[in-house]
Amino acid sequence: MNAEKPKFKDIFNRQEQEAALENAYNPQKKEKAEQERIDLYRKALTVFGERK
């Protein structure tokens, strides 16, 4: 009974929804982000050395 009412922004995050919508209609943007992540991973491997 003493619980606070949920805030609308906690239920519906507009920024996340807009980003998901943009990625759904613009797959190139998603591919670019994935490629950047792969590049950073490779860079980290060269800096810290590959460990198997």
Average per-residue pLDDT in the chain?
79
Q: What is the pLDDT of residue 1?
A: 66
Q: How many Å apart are CA 11 and CA 6, to the nearest integer?
A: 7
Q: What is the pLDDT of residue 51?
A: 62
- pLDDT exceeds 70 at position 52: no
29 within 8 A of 22, measured Cβ to Cβ: yes
Q: Which of 30, 6, 31 is nearest to 19 (CA)?
A: 30
Task: Summarize pLDDT for 11-28 with one digit per residue, the tens.
Answer: 778 888 888 888 778 777
- % of the chain surpassing 90 pLDDT: 2
